[in-house]
Structure 1
Amino acid sequence: MFVPPSSPIPAPACPVPRLETLAESGTRDEVRSLVAEFEAVTDPRGACGVRYRLASLLALVVCAITPAGHDSITAAAEWCKRAAPEELAAFNLPYHPLLGRYRVPSEKTLRSVLGRLNPAELSAAGYAWLHPLLPDGPVVPAPQMPDGGVEREQRRAHQTATRADPIPRRRRAIAVDGKCLRGARRADGSRVFVLSAVRHGDGITLASREIGAKTNEIPEFAPLLNQIDDADLADAVVTVDALHAQRTHADYLHQRGAHYLLTIKNNQWNLARQLQRLPWSEVPVIHRDDSRGHGRLERRHVQVVTVDGLLFPHARQVLRIQRKRRLYGAKKWSSQTVYAITDLPAEQADAAEIAAWARGHWTVENTVHWVRDVVFGEDKSQVRTHNTPAVLAAVRDLIRGALHLAGYVNTAAGRRAHTERHRVLALYSIT
């Protein structure tokens, strides 16, 4: 049924329970529409010949890629063409009085706009929309999905969250890691890399930044964290891999009031050799952890030494984590020894807590990179126009975060549950 521009837009018939609860509980700020949040993104187009508002185009792309099976810009354009007039009106698209319908952006328009955007601004706008929905404490998922379905991962996550945490964490933790978009290549043949800052636990992306063709992750560390507010970074623990074990990074985090947990490998040869020469034979194992999963048994023994005067700024504790793994049914164990340093003294972080942060760093791999590769088909995508690969990575992070906060532990199940348009619009408060 046609809805003229002056008529009110009907509300979706079946809103998502999680967002409805947050909006009505009064414990969170009012959830803004995603279209309104995208008004803060800078429009790279000139004033002449602009037909569609940038916020409307971005909200359309996010909503179009949310359902399962819509992983490309072509699929997003088709989703827009099949939308009803009242749904198009919710995005504030222009109305053509002579044709008697709303204008729908073409695939060429979407590609042109996405290729000229700043991925960092889009990532910041996405986190600004997610921030009012973030709980004060850890998310405890329901035993079943919000739409009433039952998933094995949903039950497991509920059991894990309701079980008493033997390792209470006194600080927030943020993982910084880069990812190669394997299907995308620039005009000069170089690959596209995106550096992201992700919260431990829920995997919400705080900031992301595309790495230039003639640089690497190291000089982009500080510009990435500059996008994060002091309230989110202050007193948090930033976990990084061995590539970012740089003295300048430690000084930067100290100035921002944050802490670090750095993995040390042979790329820092002098420091690694100094850590290996510590009297580990005289240090007792003060934390043990046994786990099962992914078809293997894993045992971790953690030793901690308090230090002062290392060849690294502000270092206070050194960890040696010995990992032993064995596949189910096998007899042979494989072992690995990892060294890590932190600027937190023993009275502020014990061995179990630091070991939990070290394991939590894999959140960025298991929750973010794996989901984007497998669920959204990111590595298979061959989109390579200007900034489009990094922009689509920011869009996927926003969708993944929205589905997680809506109560879906499994992102693929959440996408399958939003094949109907009114559910997608309700998810992003577009009414």
Structure 2
Amino acid sequence: MTKTTSAIDFFSSVTDPRVERTQKHSLESILFISLCAVICGAESWNEIEDYGNAKVDWLERFLYLPNGIPSHDTFNRVISSLDPKELNDSFVAWTKSIAELTDGEVVAIDGKCMRGSSDDGTGTYTHLVSAWASANNLLLGQEKVAGKSNEITAIPKLLRILELKGCIVTIDAMGCQKEIAKVIIERGADYILALKGNQPEMKGRVADSFTYIKPSSEHVMEGKSHGREETRACTVITNLENILDRDKWPGLKSIVRIESRTKDIKKGTVHKETRYYLSSLETDAQYINHSIRTHWSVENQLHWTLDVAFGDDASRKQKDNGAQNFSLLNRIGLNIIKNAKVSSMGVKGHRKKAGWDNDYLLYALKSF
């Protein structure tokens, strides 16, 4: 393959699980065709095969295809049998080489369940925890949640393979754990961990602190979008005398309260909510308020886009590691698309353009 395909050089370290004598198609070709197809809108193994057959002349500019385009069964069988950890490690190595995380960049950690991936009707789904770099607009890595486990076990594994020095890691309530705080500090980052009802005693003490301890800093953020007016009041306290086990939380320096008020402009309805956080930051409320607000970009820029533009939630790939590995192809494709835009069209529009225009697809691949 030529230098123009350097965006997927990381595939070269992935082990081919097949017996050599059965290999009619190289692993490099299978992965490259799959990635190009996904970028151009393919959401199933059959669509990957169809894309390959439609673009075979173009693909032969980069690949040696003595046996033509693999069948959809071959794409399914080979990609589903790849070691997902090895594939993800290669993906993380790639993102480390292209991402330039800046001090203070918010890295949002959040989980997503692929609703279509249950294979037996019992409600057992593929559940992934992802790390999203807000300023870079990149997915940094993902970790599968073990079958009978939860995100608490997957989050530390994900954190340990990422480069996080100088970043601010934000996690919802499931990740508000001492061990997770410890890993974040060890990785040279700071944290803002949401505190909810799963830790009632801690939440109660934090809430009580705001009734009689003088705030260290306060900030109000106002905005209007999507037919709503929002006000977010952030209050930070660095006096932790009311937090009995504060010394057991590595790096803990402040507690945070966010009081949000959202008004539907058309309906006139108002929704109020108060949320609490633990943080290793000892900075001003404006900085923390912005960081917490930025966390939700993982929902809008990653999860929502994967579902709407890539059909990720509807995916019914059930064979072996098919769902997890195909989801990673989706995420690689999303990284490439989001960082190769040359116009204001949405992700779906860019996928179509890449499918129609080989030069645009090549431009996208060369962007990395």
Q: What TM-score does the superposition give when structure 1 sets the normalisation length?
A: 0.77
Asked if 1:214 is matched to 2:214, the reply is no
Distance between the aligned counterparts of 1:180 and 1:403, measured in 2?
23
Q: Alpha-carbon deviations, 1:365-413, whole Å to 9, x = none?
A: 1011000100111122211111111111111111111111112562122
Post-superposition offset of 1:125: 3.1
Q: In structure 1, which of residues 158, 178, 181 is the aligned counterpart of residue 111 of structure 2?
A: 178
Superposition RMSD in Å:
2.4
In structure 2, the partner of 1:351 is 285
What secondary structure sits across from 2:81 in the alignment?
coil
Asked if 1:92 is matched to 2:64, the reply is yes
Distance between the aligned counterparts of 2:213 and 2:254, measured in 1?
16
What secondary structure sits across from 1:323 in the alignment?
strand
Distance between the aligned counterparts of 1:388 and 1:90, measured in 2?
26
In structure 2, the partner of 1:125 is 90
Post-superposition offset of 1:45: 2.5
Flag the structure with higher helix content: 2
Which residues in structure 2 correspond to 1:325-344 (within 5 Å)? 325-344=262-281
In structure 2, the partner of 1:45 is 18
Moved more, 297-306 or 247-256: 247-256
Distance between the aligned counterparts of 1:56 and 1:239, measured in 2?
38
Asked if 1:290 is matched to 2:222, the reply is yes
Label 1:121 to 1:332 Cα distance change in 2 as closer, same or farther (>3 A). Answer: same
- Select the structure with the greater relative contact order (CA < 8 A; seq sep ≥ 6): 1
In structure 1, the partner of 2:36 is 63
Post-superposition offset of 1:192: 1.2
In structure 2, the partner of 1:415 is 351
In structure 2, the partner of 1:386 is 320
Distance between the aligned counterparts of 1:108 and 1:33, measured in 2?
27
Distance between the aligned counterparts of 1:355 and 1:31, measured in 2?
42
Distance between the aligned counterparts of 2:159 and 2:145, measured in 1?
14
Distance between the aligned counterparts of 1:382 and 1:405, measured in 2?
28
Q: In structure 2, which of residues 74, 97, 114 is the aligned counterpart of residue 109 of structure 1?
A: 74
Post-superposition offset of 1:320: 0.7
What secondary structure sits across from 2:315 in the alignment?
coil
Aligned letter for 1:411? V
Give the conservation status (yes or no) of the 8 Å contact 1:283–1:304.
no
Give the conservation status (yes or no) of the 8 Å contact 2:95–2:140.
no
Post-superposition offset of 1:34: 3.6
Label 1:305 to 1:135 Cα distance change in 2 as closer, same or farther (>3 A). Answer: closer
What secondary structure sits across from 2:300 in the alignment?
helix
Give the conservation status (yes or no) of the 8 Å contact 1:124–1:206.
no
Q: In structure 2, which of residues 176, 184, 205 is the aligned counterpart of residue 245 of structure 1?
A: 176
Q: In structure 2, which of residues 292, 300, 321 is the aligned counterpart of residue 366 of structure 1?
A: 300
- The alignment covers a number of residue pairs equal to 357
Question: What is the percent sequence identity of the aligned residues?
Answer: 25
Asked if 1:398 is matched to 2:332, the reply is yes
Label 1:281 to 1:214 Cα distance change in 2 as closer, same or farther (>3 A). Answer: same
Distance between the aligned counterparts of 1:136 and 1:273, measured in 2?
35
Asked if 1:255 is matched to 2:186, the reply is yes
Post-superposition offset of 1:330: 3.8
Distance between the aligned counterparts of 2:31 and 2:115, measured in 1?
24
Give the conservation status (yes or no) of the 8 Å contact 1:130–1:401.
no
Give the conservation status (yes or no) of the 8 Å contact 1:176–1:238.
yes
Give the conservation status (yes or no) of the 8 Å contact 1:283–1:303.
no
Give the conservation status (yes or no) of the 8 Å contact 2:111–2:128.
yes
Distance between the aligned counterparts of 2:98 and 2:190, measured in 1?
26
Distance between the aligned counterparts of 1:350 and 1:418, measured in 2?
44
Aligned letter for 1:272? K
Aligned letter for 2:75? L
Distance between the aligned counterparts of 1:270 and 1:194, measured in 2?
29
Distance between the aligned counterparts of 1:282 and 1:226, measured in 2?
36
Q: What TM-score does the superposition give when structure 2 sets the normalisation length?
A: 0.89
Post-superposition offset of 1:135: 5.9
Label 1:255 to 1:135 Cα distance change in 2 as closer, same or farther (>3 A). Answer: closer
Distance between the aligned counterparts of 2:59 and 2:76, measured in 1?
22
Post-superposition offset of 1:42: 2.3
Label 1:235 to 1:364 Cα distance change in 2 as closer, same or farther (>3 A). Answer: same
Distance between the aligned counterparts of 1:340 and 1:106, measured in 2?
51
Q: Alpha-carbon deviations, 1:260-315, whole Å to 9, x = none?
A: 11000010111101101114366467211111112111111111110346334131
Post-superposition offset of 1:51: 2.4
Give the conservation status (yes or no) of the 8 Å contact 1:203–1:363.
no
Distance between the aligned counterparts of 1:299 and 1:86, measured in 2?
52
In structure 2, the partner of 1:6 is none
